[in-house]
Chain A
Amino acid sequence: MRSLPPNVIKEVNQFMTFKLKKKERNSIINPIFTCQPAGAQYASIGMDECIGIVHGGQGCVMFVRLLFAQHFKDNFLLASSSLHEDSAVMGGMHRVEQAVDVLLMRYPEVKVVPIISTCSTEIIGDDIDGVARKLNNGLLKEKYAEREVHLIPIHTPSFKGSMIYGYDTAVKDFITYFAELGEPNGKINLITGWVNPGDVTALKHLLKEMDVDATVIFEIETFDSPLMPDGEAVSHGSTTIEDLKSTANAMGTIALNRYEGGQAARYLEKKFEVPAVIGPTPIGIRNTDTFLENVRRMTGKPIPQSLVRERGIAIDALTDLVHMFFADKKVAIYGNPDLVIGLAEFCLDLEMKPVLLMIGDENLEYLKDQRIKDLQEKVEDIDIIQNADFWVLENKIKNEEIELDLIMGHSKGRFISIDYDIPMLRVGFPVYDRAGYYRHPVMGYSGATWLAEEMANVLFTDMEYKKNKEWILNVW
């Protein structure tokens, strides 16, 4: 098992300037996050010609694949080493060896095989780095000598961090494995974080307008795949080995989400001197402005008129809504840390009152996050809770500690909205109880528009359902 390098911990101590609340219980009632291997699996499906093997019990893969299928209404490929009782007792390295062989034999197009550990295989101490070395020196040389195969061990013990840290770790491990010094490629690296295909589309659009060429990590627009007459389409990410290799030769890296790709950006900066800009998450107008400014500074390309106009369209849409419908509306937001922070910041610009922010895990890094510090110190009546679960939210509602006009978060919290009659906008991952949300962006100007209009529509529907000044919508 790896832990944070000592210098990072020192940094934390140095900057630890504020406290962040945690939930008061030790156990979890209704979790906001799942565990690390799910994050590594989400990263794996973003890579072309890649099928991950999760070294653990079959449920660690089967349910994560189900989760992806729930969210995208599509199937994604991931394999299991199928750890059974004998391996749990005697060690399961041979299961990984066999899994790699079987996978390579049956999927001739596969070149990249991340080997993702779990709680069970970390506890029994299976050495996935060792098994990768053994396979590299043995099986791959002997049986697959003609074939390009990359085995990438990814340590994601489920009892550390969360799905967020698992994703962050996997992105870093992929890049560490592939990044290779070469000629400058004139591109920027855009590490998106755990986002939806709709976000990638929106981000690529912004970069295209800026005339900037970018390596998008991971290129997951193709998660939204068609149903074709020949029945041959599949959903899979399309980031290539070449893409990852050339990350070392970019003019800079922008990691949009600090906790979902930040490690990789820092690695590229340290190892290959690729300048890294980490954050902000381009949710809302202001953060999108900053993102474009970062791109401008990094590439020297000016922000074009087309984006001024696009921004204007978004501002126009928001102006219709903000002071009329959003002002002073109290909102609770939960989910991935960068998403929660970005949404909270946007809500403040929309004149709303984010009263409760909940992040599903605990991370020392949060304590040196200026955004969190600012929210905590500069916003009145805001409660920010790390290591939160849904019971924190439900309890506060039940005990009338807070009154909410809107909840924003992923589908696992749906019953709070339903049972307490609070309108909710589904956002984040997973969203399985609304149709097609993965197709829409929350990032960029188009994301800002979509978010605000959906918030409004959710509020409007609720007004009608509860007959709460529904007549106001006759004219506005």
Chain B
Amino acid sequence: MPHHLFKCSECIPERKKHAVIKGEGEDLTSCLPLGYLNTIPGTISERGCAFCGAKHVIGTPMKDVIHLCHGPVGCTYDTWQTKRYLSDNDNFQFKYTFATDMKEKDIVFGAEKLLRQSIMEAFEAFPEIKRMSIYQTCASALIGDDINAVVKDIMAEMPEVDIFVCNSPGFAGPSQSGGHHVINIAWVNQKVGTYEPEIKSDYVINYVGEYNIQGDQEVMLDYFQRMGIQVLSTFTGNGSYDDLRGMHRAHLNVLECARSAEYICNELRVRYGTPRMDIDGFGFKPLSESLLKVGYFFGLEEKAQKVIDEEVARWKPELDWYARRLKGVKVCLWPGGSKLWHWANVIHEEMGVEVVSVYTKFGHQGDMEKGIARCGEGALAIDDPNELEGIEAIKKLKPDVIFTGVRPGEVAKKMRVQYLNAHAYHNGPYKGFEGWVRFARDIYNAVYSPIHQLSGLDISKDEISADKGFMTRQMISDVKIDTEEAALSEERPYTGDYDCVTKLRGKEYPLLEKSPSAN
């Protein structure tokens, strides 16, 4: 068995089954780590809680909604302004956050009255917003407040408002993943089918498991709409509450992040017979295949091909410029859940980087299965990593760059390893053809940073070359490429704008129309 026991974890041998090194000729039957089990206390794991999985990851990207937490203020404060999910309504959902601010007397006597008051106060403060999502926390769950009952009463009194309740306290599961599941099922149970959406096309999809990080959703929407497809709803990035109540009317559920949102697709398939199609917005090849796949479903493959051709012609020379210079760069792919398999193979294929390790904070065995299958031999896969194991892995593998979160990224920084934010991105979006070039550009800018190079110099003992006033990234990166060949190619570095998303808003899509005969 290729299980890997970290030195720092020898005293907790149960960790052995959570890490594997994919050996020569080995397949998944022999090298699949355990996953999604309770965390060992005190390990300094990277995991969050089920509340944040529900509220922070999936709930709050919904844009036209008052997001209210029923609990002490910390849960609200902590999940406010720590992500980059945009919306085209001036980011209402991340500018405003609401808490019932439960105090000691509420804990003792119950806080349902406070909850009712808070709901009223929130609607009063924002009279134009008629939709609300309420999130249970550890405290409100433990004292047994019946949020559903309060909401039922209020919705009866105020027919113009609609309120969603998510009962996913922080302790409900080993990680944020527990909350993903709860909110998926809660939405389909409570809200899907309660609203009839306007159908504008013969080709209607829900775009599911997409959170509009730095504009990802808006980029993908542009492609779909150029194909003549109506995106009825997005679950949930930049998504609208009422559109999501109308999910049952789509012809197809196009699923991006399966880890966080496959549950709702599966339920919609069972309840409404809507097929699920898994796609991938990252990377030229997976994205092209995904658009074609959606195209084939509707008979729109020619339109899909047209979009692909236009985009590839525009951006491929720029991707190739970076790929030529990123070849052999060693990467630890340490995201939260599904990016480990979304990215594992394609960054190797299209940018030439070597994935030396994958980890997942809240992924399940299924994510590891896909991730490990897409890694090369020798890759180290870790489930529920902790601080010391991460450090040990960095020392052992000596990666050039790590794709992970802010905090582990700071650990890497101190160890002189560059990091890119895998959750919120550096300068995204990273989805779409242009986005993929931006990702390559960000990796390149990190790895070949002149300052990064200087960080390794110990002026007390190393030789200081006094003949240089500066270095450019290219002076560092191009020593290992064939510059003559590169000069002959059409490759060029990124030429897009700093903000490539805002201009997509308000764009017209002439293809988007419904045939008179269609229902």
Interface of A with B (CB < 8 Å)?
1, 25-31, 33-38, 51, 53, 56-60, 62-67, 69-70, 73-75, 77-85, 87-88, 95-96, 98-103, 105-107, 118-120, 123-124, 157-160, 162-163, 225, 227-235, 391, 395, 411-412, 414-415, 419
Contact = CB atoms under 8 A, between A and B. Distances in A.
B99 A28 contact: yes
Contacts of A395: 125
A227 B413 contact: yes
Interface stretch (B73-81, B227-235, B282-290, B304-312): B73-81
A157 B388 CA distance: 29
Interface string B320-349: 000000000000000000000000000000
A58 B40 CA distance: 11
Contact of A66 (B117, B407, B415): B407
Contact of B106 (A28, A29, A51, A159): A159
A83 B48 CA distance: 11
A230 B396 CA distance: 15
B96 interface: yes
A38 B78 CA distance: 10
A101 B11 CA distance: 10
Contact of B82 (A37, A63, A101, A118): A63
A22 to B, nearest CB: 12
Contacts of B100: 26-28
Given A57-B51, A84-B38, A31 B80 contact: yes
B121 to A, nearest CB: 5
B101 A27 contact: yes
Given A105-B12, A159-B72, A229-B456, A57 B406 contact: no
A75 B43 contact: no
B106 to A, nearest CB: 7
A58 B361 CA distance: 12
Taking each of A27, A106, A160, which has the highest tally of chain B beta carbons within 10 Å of its own beta carbon? Answer: A27
Given A58-B39, A58-B49, A158-B72, A27 B80 contact: no
A38 B74 contact: yes
A222 to B, nearest CB: 13
Contact of B411 (A75, A83, A391): A75
A33 B74 CA distance: 8
A357 to B, nearest CB: 20
Given A28-B73, A66-B407, A159-B106, A106 B117 contact: no
Contacts of A157: 104
B48 A58 contact: yes
A224 to B, nearest CB: 13
Interface stretch (B16-24, B172-180, B254-262, B499-507): B172-180
Contacts of A29: 96-98, 121-122, 125
B138 A120 contact: yes
A392 to B, nearest CB: 11
Interface residues of B, number: 80
Contacts of A82: 38-41, 45, 47
A26 B456 CA distance: 54
A162 B73 contact: yes
Interface of B: 8-9, 11-12, 38-52, 68, 71-82, 95-104, 106-107, 114, 117-118, 121-122, 125, 137-139, 141-143, 169-175, 387-388, 406-408, 410-411, 413-417, 455-458, 462
Contacts of B12: 102, 105-106
Sorted nearest first, the 4 A-B pairs with minimum C-beta distance are A57-B170, A35-B74, A99-B42, A59-B49
A4 to B, nearest CB: 12
A412 B407 contact: no
Given A34-B74, A35-B73, A62-B48, A88 B39 contact: no
Contact of A229 (B43, B142, B457): B457
29 contacts: A27-B68, A27-B117, A27-B121, A28-B99, A31-B76, A31-B80, A35-B72, A35-B73, A36-B74, A56-B138, A63-B52, A67-B82, A83-B170, A95-B41, A98-B40, A106-B11, A106-B388, A119-B72, A119-B74, A119-B102, A120-B169, A123-B139, A157-B104, A158-B139, A159-B139, A163-B74, A229-B457, A233-B414, A235-B414
Contacts of B68: 27
Contact of B458 (A63, A81, A227, A229): A229
B170 A100 contact: no
A99 B287 CA distance: 44
A158 B74 contact: yes
B43 to A, nearest CB: 6
Given A59-B48, A102-B41, A75 B407 contact: yes
Contacts of A74: 410, 414
A123 B41 contact: no
A411 B114 CA distance: 28
